[in-house]
Structure 1
């Protein structure tokens, strides 16, 4: 049986829980990976990991997740490769996707069709407990009452404690980012104190498997080069990644203003959605822009990659180029590919998903008035 978490026992995890939080629960500080571990664990981490462990022990997943073969591929980008063959053969069949703006279809699988034991927690921010939404939100999808943000298991996990955050689950939103959803994801990052906690999101035509708004999250006990990747300013709080295989945009949490960061990222992703540009988003702890990897000056970084579209259902190659791969975490499905993967080969595969220099420069040009709020 799983060890008790705080004052709780495994029996307390037999039904979905509710985790209420406020700004007082945010953890803004994190340590460089060079400093001695173990990782710091917050109350949220303990609750989440305890419930996930309990679900694994009860057999609620399609397969058990024993220790994954993991290695850091030699090179300056330090790609983290993991061999996970079961995910390729035992996962739910991905949906056919033909458009970034494909509408929600209630007849297809969605997260209202899951079993109760797949739900771990309801994530309840204080500002929504009394049905009060942020009046300054640019998000036309903001809901004022009865907005359930649930955390569920990914029954085909790619790493330890792989979960899905499903914001506003009952509203049956398509896989399109809203400002509120981005803010909830940032909240979840900040109430975790584990520096290996990662959150990712794939748009339709960027390897999203289910057309119902959701994020992936998991713990990866390895540093990623994206945490300290070099950036240069574009405009306002928007930067671009430099010296990286894929062209993308970068943002960081400044002055602990979560709402402002969510608003800025939403302006960009909303433009991509409106213009049928496939995109992926990754949230991680990392250094403040311009700081070295060993700096103690750290924050939360958000990356958004506009990319070439992928149509239809997911293929089953060595790895698909979705958000984890763009961030430098490579879950590989074929043992031979895992054994022979090199930095050059991985970078080549990633570049195939990237916009060209001309396409990316045009995107930046079109984003200028968007980022200026015009």
Structure 2
């Protein structure tokens, strides 16, 4: 904040639980919409990456927090594997601690979920001991403002969020996949076990193995 990275101050953001059976949490952050970068013009759910539009290879150096890489043991030594994945601040955050994961930024992938990137997200979430550490993915035409593959990570300190206690019945033949039975919209829930890759495959059945 002192370095002028963010577009607004988060001190005035307030939240409360909305009365009702679902326990929605309302967050008052009007500057998220009035001060954020105007979204690019999106026409389809899947659009080619356009280097002439804003993308995360253009972010300022001071916005980048660090990069993450998988490790592998090679002859007794730890070595980094492949290109690093960018962790950057969200300059128009929803709440405190809101960061962006940009998998392999130089690959210039469009905003379409891939198997390898989702597996990376699940692995990162599993590294945190904070129960409110969440990953969020949004697509084109669903409030994604940048057509460059990225995911949101943030802390949601509301222990009674509906997403944590959703009821469901297991889908036949698919371990860890549940059809939601007590949610306000139709959908599916997935329970992560000790194998992030297996869960990622269940979530992205139509994704190419990358």
TM-score, reference length from structure 2: 0.90
Q: Does the alignment pair 1:187 with 2:126?
A: no
* Partner residue in 2 for 1:257: 195
Name the one with the larger helix percent. Answer: 1
- 1:76 offset after TM fit, Å? 2.1
**For the residues of structure 1 that align with 2:192 and 2:182, how far apart are their CA atoms?**
22
* Partner residue in 2 for 1:170: 106
Give the total of aligned pairs.
201
Aligned-partner SS, 1:57:
coil
Alignment CA distance shift 1:127-1:75 (3 Å): farther
- 1:217 offset after TM fit, Å? 1.1
Name structure 1 gaps, 5 residues minimum: 1-55, 133-144, 272-374
- 1:220 offset after TM fit, Å? 1.5
Contact 2:6 2:92 (8 Å CA) reproduced: yes
- 1:196 offset after TM fit, Å? 1.1
Which of the numbers 38, 54, 57 marks the counterpart of 1:93? Answer: 38
**For the residues of structure 1 that align with 2:63 and 2:14, how far apart are their CA atoms?**
26
**For the residues of structure 2 that align with 1:127 and 1:245, how far apart are their CA atoms?**
43
**For the residues of structure 2 that align with 1:257 and 1:186, how far apart are their CA atoms?**
9
Matches within 5 A, 1:202-221: 202-221=138-157
Name structure 2 gaps, 5 residues minimum: none
* Partner residue in 2 for 1:113: 58
Matches within 5 A, 1:259-278: 259-267=197-205, 270=207
Which of the numbers 137, 143, 162 marks the counterpart of 1:225? Answer: 162
- Per-residue Cα deviation, 1:7-65 (whole angstroms, up to 9, x for no partner): xxxxxxxxxxxxxxxxxxxxxxxxxxxxxxxxxxxxxxxxxxxxxxxxx2322101111
Which has more radius of gyration?
1
Matches within 5 A, 1:284-295: none
Matches within 5 A, 1:294-373: none
RMSD over aligned Cα atoms: 1.8
Contact 1:179 1:266 (8 Å CA) reproduced: yes
Contact 2:69 2:80 (8 Å CA) reproduced: no
Which of the numbers 159, 164, 171 marks the counterpart of 1:234? Answer: 171
TM-score, reference length from structure 1: 0.51
- 1:66 offset after TM fit, Å? 0.6
